Structure 1
């Protein structure tokens, strides 16, 4: 049985009035190369000369790597125990490359929520995220749709 953390964000806690900002994450060169070797072995992610020939200052993190960092930083917002599943992402945009040495933060805000029509004990919510360097440069933006627990439903599960 899952131990639901009282500090978790539930459907009822979702408000649209603030942007939350995560802790900082820094892209390391060795990590960028290791990730690219395994998951996205394009030359611009592995070789400085190839990256410069493509118009970059040096190697860049793959978009998939940036998405993985975005996902990890989402956990700063205490969503883990209340999220049931993800329905997917929309409007994924890569605005600028992440490079070794870049430090980033996730800027997160809720944009929509409703109770599920087929399962009224859970909610459907959408959130918009931006991965930004600490100097403010926008690297990635994305909207995710999730199924999230309602606090009352969790309370009823505990009572059973």
Structure 2
């Protein structure tokens, strides 16, 4: 038992900072341990890493973007877009028909688009194709396709 504890302590003190270095959270990374224990001394980081590892909260934090963990990856952006479209589908349909509007601009921003005028113009031109199935998921899929394949939007959008 002492040997297992000694190996664990060695890993926590020596090896773990080599694998999980983070300027924002120290060697322990994000999680409840890093929120509760804010000092960046090795002993404190070992305790924070132990709390993060034993309670499994670091995995939860990484998955949900809580506990000081950030999730700004591709999957997170797609989930944000999907939630936004589902919550605002009727407003988006009305604003795309006009080619402008607050919800449409917010959606363009979620799609990584900086040129709102072009986004609105393309949305208005392609309105009937985008909304032909009257489904938020269908609209989102078609809009992603349009952004990725339209020369005017490719330069303006970063999805």
TM-score by length of 2: 0.26
Larger Rg: 2
TM-score by length of 1: 0.26
Counting strand residues as a fraction of each chain, which structure ranks higher? 1
Counting helix residues as a fraction of each chain, which structure ranks higher? 2
Q: Larger RCO: Structure 1 or Structure 2 (Cα < 8 Å, ≥ 6 residues apart)?
A: 1
